[in-house]
Structure formats: structure tokens, C-alpha cells
A and B are shown apart, each in its own frame.
Chain A
Amino acid sequence: MTTTEIPGSPDFEIDPRALTPLADQRLDIELQSEDMVLNIGPQHPATHGTLRVVVRLDGERVVSADPVIGYMHRGYEKLTEYRTYPQVTTLINRIDWLSSFANEVPFIHAAERIMGVEAPPRAEWIRTALTELSRIATFILFLGEMGLQVGAITPAFYGFRDREHVLNLIEAVTGGRFHPNFNRIGGIKDDLPAGWINETRRVMGLMLESCDQFEDLVAGNEIFQARTRGCGIIPADVGAAYGVSGSNLRASGVDWDLRRDGQPYLAYRELDWKVFTHPDGDTFARYWVRLQETREAIRMVLQILDGLPAGPVMAKVPRIIKVPAGEAWVNTENPLGEMGYYVISKGATGPFRVKIRTASFSNVSILPWLLKGVYVPDVVTILAGLYFILGDIDR
């Protein structure tokens, strides 16, 4: 691997693949023709919302791509400064709406860390279960929808059907399918309802079958493999430099999972589970890693059901929550990747500044690099394989 020097910094060397030349190499156009600018989005079925990608095409080949975001910008970082801590959880539920519960956890943890409050073990275990359930819900939908994006209609219906079982479980505990708003500083709102554990066990069995089905129907399909293998390869170092995280980075062979490697949070250290990586770094690898992580999440939920500790679900906290002055950076492994909150408090009832680091924002920022030189159909495959949620990009 050769390295080039950045002008003006004598002893700093960077892998040139992280810069554009490698992406440019993919652009060997035999017959140069007049470029056409194609506007993909903001209303396009492949963008799951309002992402807009302006691509310059030569024939069907992408010469350059420029993602335009912000059609759903809601200014959450500003809004959090005008809200109290309990009110903020309502907002951040809407960042990544497919796994809302997982969004709440890092923020609540940051506030708890500054306050010095620790949630009771049972609350942490239930939080873990619900986080993993939202991971399953998110990934099951992905596993089906990925099929749709490459043209197979049927898997998408299976994805929606199977996700509904998991959403029912989340709804049974929290009262909300999509926006639970269930975390409180110092614990969770309520204990599990009666009969939930057996029902969850049954549904996890269904989900495992569903994973097998997706493996046969989608991942095992020759056409699917022909479309996704070698498509949208992200080398590990390039992905890291762009801040690509989560399953996308693990699919590039980076063994990094914040549930295991980050600051200890929730009950992950007490569960037996594995981190899956894939050496290829292409869209198929991303699909495969998510498939395995769904199974691993199911396994974790089953362990939690077996080992759920008894006790209260709320720690003693004052009625009006005032977080003492301080700062905390808490990042967690959300279904889409690394999500973190840098919470700065000045001792008031609300945060002074919240920096929200969302996974999709960085995952999508690699698109100009990644889309260079691919064909239009691959644009869709790559977009679908990165798996972003617009609320998570625009927040």
C-alpha cells in the first residue's frame, strides 16, 4: 500500500484510498458522451423518505454524486435547549423512528451519568431487551426491504409482516409501536406486563424462522448475490475515516461493536453473544452481517428472558429533575450504527447543549466517494445496503 503526503504536514501520511483518486479509478469510460444530470429524489422510492442524490451520468454510469440532505431537518439540537430532560426523550424518539427505543437509551444514560444516578438492574435488563427488540424490528424490515430494492416484491411483505410481531411486543410494554418514550432518568416507566415473557419467547421462535427464510429467499438467491456481491465496496480504513459505523463497518471487517467495546452500558457484558464481521465490505456483506446480528439479537433477548433480575424498575430520583453542571459523551450501538449524545448541562431542568451524533448522517456522507463509477441500478442497491433513516440523517 502506497501512501501520499499531505502538503504542508511533513510527517503525516494518509492512505490515498481515503481520498478521491481511488474512487476516480473506477471511472474508466470507454466512450465519452455528454453528461446527463439525474436528480434522484427527494421523492424516490429508493431513498426511503426525502434524501436527494444529484448524480451526473455518462450513459448509465455515475460520474459524480452529490447527496443533498435537509428536507426533513427539524432542528433537534436547538429544540433540546428549550426543553426539560423528560421532554427531550419525546423528541429524540423521532430521530431514528424505526428503533426509537434505542435512541432514548444513550441520552438517558448521559443524563444519568452526570447526575450520578444508576438505574436498577431490572430496569437495565428490560432496557436491553427493548433495545434488542427494536434492533430486530429494524433489521427484519431491512432484510425484507433489501429484496424490494433489488426488485423482488415478496420479501418486503414478509419483512413488514414479521416486524409487526416485534412491534406488538414493544407496544405491549411501552404502549407505543414506534415512539415508546418509555425511558425515565433513573429507570423505566413500568414493569413488564403479565404474560409478556412467554409471548416474547414464542415470537423469538418466529423471528428465527423468519431469518432462515430470508437467508433462503434473499441471501441465497443467485440473482441477489449477482447484484450485491462486489457492489459498493467500502475498505475498512476509508469507512472509518468517513465515520461509517455499525453493521456497515463490521461488514468491512472491522471488529468493533460499542455494545462490547464501548463504555459499559446496559446488560451486554452479562450476556453471551458474538460480534459478526465479514471481510468483503460489499452490499452482500452488509446484508449478511445484519442477518447474523438479527439472530444474535434474538439470542440475547432469549437470554434476557431467562436471566431477568427481580427488583424495582425505578431508582430514587427527585420529582423535578435538575441535572448538575457537567458534560457527558455517551455513544451506543444502535441498529444503524454509532449513535451518541454529547450532553452539556449547567444545572438547570433542561440541557444547555446536546450534540446528537447520528449513525446515518456519517454513513451517508460516504456516498460521493462510494457512488463514483457505478451504474444507476447499483446506486439503488448501495443506498439500500447502507440502510439509513432520513430522520437519522436530518434530525
Chain B
Amino acid sequence: MALTGQWMGACRSSFRSRIPGGLQVADEQTVDEAATTEGSTSVATIDAGPVAAVDSAIEALRARVVAELGSAVVAHEINHGVVTVRVTTESWRRTAEIVRSKLGFDYLSFIAGIDWMPAPKVGGEELAGDTSTPAQPMEQTYGVCGSAGRFQVFAAVTSLSRKTTLVLKTDVSETEPIVASWVPVYPGADWHERETWEMYGFRFDGHPGLRHLYLPGEFEGFPLRKDFPLLAREVKPWPGLVDVEPMPGVADGDEGEE
């Protein structure tokens, strides 16, 4: 198993020989010119063929995932090259088991929550030049694959052998936000679920210990829910906004007179 020093030395020398053009410093002018001609040709050949191949592979993956998950699937879509599947809340844990053991998605990227409630309006009018807070639409809309209500949990898993990624979503009830834990399937889900729990208040059924991860133990409220105000912004307007804060020694009434 162990690599010997000799092996490493061989690696180094073979590496040296693979450096294009060696390390000599060329004349700046010629380098740039050569780069211009050479580079443009290689860029022009961006693979049209492989992209199509990738697309069909993703289509095949979607079909396979949907077939395996069966009745659990609520909606599915290919979103910017990523297969996104929404499953029922009851089958959340079962979904993880199937994608890990049958479909080979052995690597967990993350688990997180979404709150689709429209963001409450904070700050001034955008048209008046107040860019302190982006004005989000006031109606409740849902993203890819839709949602039944305000809360969703979503996760990304990757197959290390097939090098493909899958995004899974499920709805979480607003009145009783409970969803099954993935910890028995992916041990790495532990911290992600603790984070989601403290940020959104979703309880993960079967999690070994939902303790606070980032926030102090006595913290109340769920900071990433949209109705949890960003206190710093409530107390003090966006400091990047011109003329909000008068310079020291300037009376408040002076601003905006010119």
C-alpha cells in the first residue's frame, strides 16, 4: 500500500516532462500573440457532441430515478442539467434508501430547507434609489417542481461512480413540520439536519440528537424563516445607502438639501 520515496521521485520527474513549453520566460509580446491565435481555435471547438450525449444521459437518469421511486414521485424536472425530483413527505426516508442502495448515489452534498413565504418588505423604495433590500415579489410562488405549501426540505446527492447529481425535494407541513431523518442512511446528514432544524424548526424524526449547531442553546426563533426579521437591518438602515447616515458633526436636517 505504502508509496516509497522512489515512487514519488519518479512521479516528480515524469511530471516535469509534462509541463508544456518548460518554464522559460518567453517574450511577453510573442506569448500574447501566440495565445491569441492558439486559444481562439481551441475555444471554438467547445464540444457540441458531448453535450448532447450528456443530455441524453440525464434524461435516462431521470427515467431511471422516477421508475425506481415509483409512487413516491410527485413531480420531476431537469433543471439546468440537474435532475430534480419532488417526493411525498412520507417517502422521504425511503427515497434516501433507494437512491443510495439501488441507484448508487452514495455521496451526500447537503440537506437544507426552503421557506417559500414572500419576504416581508424591508427598507425603502427601489425606484427611489434604495437598493438596501432587493424587492422580492409579494405573491407566494414556488420554484422547480412546485410545492404544496410554505416549507420544503431539499437535498443534493451525488453518485461518485456515475458522477451525476440528483436534487430531491419534499414538502413539509406548516402546522406540524416533521420529516424523516436521513442520518441512518447518510451519517453525514447529522449536522445538515441539525442546522435545518435550528434555522427552520423542522423536526427530523429519527435523528440521534437535535441540538443547536450554530446558535447558542437558549436561542429562540428560527432565523431562516422569512418572517424572522434580520434585526441588524431593522435597527439600522443599509449603511451603503448614500445620505442615510449623516457625517459626524452634520445636523440631521442638512441631508438632501442640495
Does any Cβ of B come within 8 Å of A318's Cβ? no
Does B42 reach chain A (CB closer than 8 Å)?
yes
- Which residues of A line the B interface, CB within 8 A? 6, 9, 11-14, 18-19, 69-70, 73, 75, 77-79, 81-84, 87, 113-114, 121-122, 125, 194-195, 197-198, 201-202, 204-205, 208, 212, 215, 219-220, 229, 237-238, 240-245, 249, 254, 256, 261-264, 269-270, 272, 278-280, 288, 292, 295, 299, 302-303, 305-311, 325-329, 331, 338, 340, 342, 344, 346-353, 355, 357, 361-362, 365-366, 369, 394
> Could you tell me which B residues sit within 8 Å of A by CB distance?
1-3, 5, 8, 11-12, 15, 18-21, 23, 25-26, 28, 31-32, 34-36, 38-40, 42-43, 47, 51, 79-82, 84, 93-94, 97, 100-101, 106-110, 112, 114-115, 119, 122, 126, 131-137, 141, 143-144, 154, 156, 160, 163, 165, 167, 184-188, 190-191, 199, 212-215, 223-224, 230, 233, 240
6 contacts between A and B (CB under 8 A): A6-B184, A14-B184, A219-B8, A263-B82, A302-B20, A346-B141
Q: List residues of chain B with CB within 8 A of the CB of A12.
A: 97, 100-101, 185
Q: Are B101 and A13 in contact (CB under 8 A)?
A: yes
Cβ contacts under 8 Å, A346 to chain B: 136-137, 141
Instruction: Given A12-B97, A340-B110, A344-B114, verify A288-B38 contact (CB < 8 Å).
Output: no
Nearest CB on A from B197, distance (A): 14
Within 8 Å by CB of B137, from A238, A292, A295, A348, lies A348
Our pick among A194, A308, A347 for the contact of B35 (Cβ within 8 Å) is A308
B215 and A73 contact, CB distance less than 8 A = yes
Tell me whether A77 and B134 are in contact (CB under 8 A).
no
- Separation in Å of the A175 CB from the closest CB of chain B? 19
Q: Which residue of B lies closest to A269 (CB)?
A: B47
In the bound assembly, the distance between CA atoms of A197 and B28 in angstroms comes to: 7
Contacts of B79 in A (CB 8 A): 326-329
> Do A299 and B18 have beta carbons less than 8 Å apart?
yes
Chain B residues contacting A201 (CB-CB under 8 Å) are 23, 25-26
The 6 closest A-B pairs by CB, nearest first: A350-B134, A309-B39, A70-B214, A242-B188, A261-B163, A243-B188
Chain A hits for B110, CB < 8 A: 243, 340, 342, 355, 357, 362
Query: How close is B43's CB to chain A, nearest CB, in angstroms?
Result: 4
Closest chain-A Cβ to B91's Cβ sits at a distance in Å of 12
Out of B20, B97, B188, B214, name the residue touching A365 (CB < 8 Å): B188
A278 vs B3: C-alpha distance when bound (angstroms): 9
**Residues on the A chain within 8 Å of B18, using CB:** 272, 299
In contact, B223 and A243 (Cβ under 8 angstroms): no
Expressed in whole angstroms, the minimum distance between the Cβ of A266 and any Cβ of chain B is 12
Q: Could you tell me the distance between the alpha carbons of A290 and B15 in the complex, rounded to whole angstroms?
A: 15
B223 CB contacts on chain A under 8 angstroms = 75, 78
Q: Are A352 and B188 in contact (CB under 8 A)?
A: no
Question: A238-B187, A240-B108, A348-B136 given. 4 additional CB < 8 A pairs?
Answer: A240-B107, A262-B163, A306-B21, A342-B154
Provided the pairs A75-B223, A83-B134 are in contact, do residues A202 and B35 lie with their beta carbons within 8 angstroms? Answer: no
The residue on A at minimum CB distance from B2 is: A229
Decide: A9 near B36, CB < 8 A? Known: A82-B122, A84-B134, A254-B160.
no
Given contacts A215-B8, A262-B163, A280-B1, contact A208 B23 (CB under 8 A): yes
A83 to B1: give the CA distance in the assembly, Å.
51
- Give Cα A331 to B11, complex, Å: 30
User: Known contacts being A197-B32, A269-B47, A331-B165, is A69 close to B214, with CB within 8 Å?
Assistant: yes
Q: Bound complex: CA of A361 vs CA of B213, how far in Å? A: 11
Q: Is the CB of B215 within 8 A of A325?
A: no
Contacting pair A329 B126 (CB below 8 A): no
B191 touches A365 (CB 8 A): yes
Q: Is the CB of A81 within 8 A of B119?
A: yes
Q: How far is the CA of A254 from the CA of B163 in the complex (A)?
A: 11
